[in-house]
Amino acid sequence: MEQQNLTRLGKFLCLILRHKPETVGITVDRRGWADVDELIRGVNKKYPFSRELLEEIVRTDAKQRYAFSEDGTKIRANQGHSLPVDLGLTPLDPPPVLWHGSARRFEASILEQGLLPQSRRQVHLSPDYETAVAVGRRHGEPIVFQVQCGEMRRDGFFFYRAENGVWLTDMVPPAYLIPVEPD
């Protein structure tokens, strides 16, 4: 299938698996897993869909947003949920710093309140500066914060790494944020 259509279907899959499984009449379990057959039947009511197409979307997704269960009968989004799921990830020691990209219009509020998960379950942090700039640009003029994760960890905060390399934490108080001006 053409990349453009794959991307469109991928966005729909994100909506279902992260936010609104009811859109296609399915549910996800507390770990975020949806039954693959139910998902295919559900999506099929709106668009022609198949296991092959689902596998192509999962395989070609630029951010590796989805994962199949080991036996291939279930699928979930690796991160980005607003649904109340617990991915069951093991806390990990983070690198000394990670990065968060946001938009200029949120800067004052972030410096006052810290990073909050807003509509998602957790705050998303990028492993490198360039990725953070790209994440920030989705929202407008990008700004980037360097997040002092080593220090946070020593102070008792927990960090998790989603299967696609995105780091997750519950919130980041302003004291651990260093604004970095993009070039």
Q: What is the contact surface with ligand HQG in residues (CB under 6 A)? A: 63, 65, 80, 102-103, 106, 109-110, 113, 115-116, 118-120, 124, 135, 139, 166
Least spacing, CB of residue 18 vs ligand HQG, in Å: 8
Q: How far apart are CA 116 and CA 176, in angstroms?
A: 13
Q: How far separated are the first and last CA of the chain, in Å rounded?
A: 37
Shortest gap between Cβ of 73 and ligand HQG (angstroms)?
23
Smaller CB separation from ligand HQG, 147 or 166: 166
- Write down the least CB distance from residue 110 to ligand HQG, Å: 5
Cβ nearer to ligand HQG, comparing 103 with 180: 103
CB of 74: closest distance to ligand HQG in angstroms?
A: 19
Shortest separation between residue 75's beta carbon and ligand HQG, angstroms:
15
Residue carrying structure tokens 């980005």:
80
Say if residues 122 and 162 touch (Cβ distance below 8 Å). Answer: no
Which amino acid is it at 53? L
C-beta nearest to ligand HQG: residue: 102
Q: Rounded distance, CA 135 to CA 125, Å?
A: 10
171, 121 in Cβ contact below 8 A? no
Listed residue (100, 120, 105, 104) closest to 173, CA to CA: 100
As a whole number of angstroms, the longest Cα–Cα distance in the chain is 51
- Give whichever of 41 and 127 is closer to ligand HQG, judged by the CB atom: 127
User: Which CB, 41 or 63, lies closer to ligand HQG?
Assistant: 63
**Cβ proximity to ligand HQG, 75 vs 166, nearer residue:** 166
Q: Are 180 and 146 in contact (CB under 8 A)?
A: yes
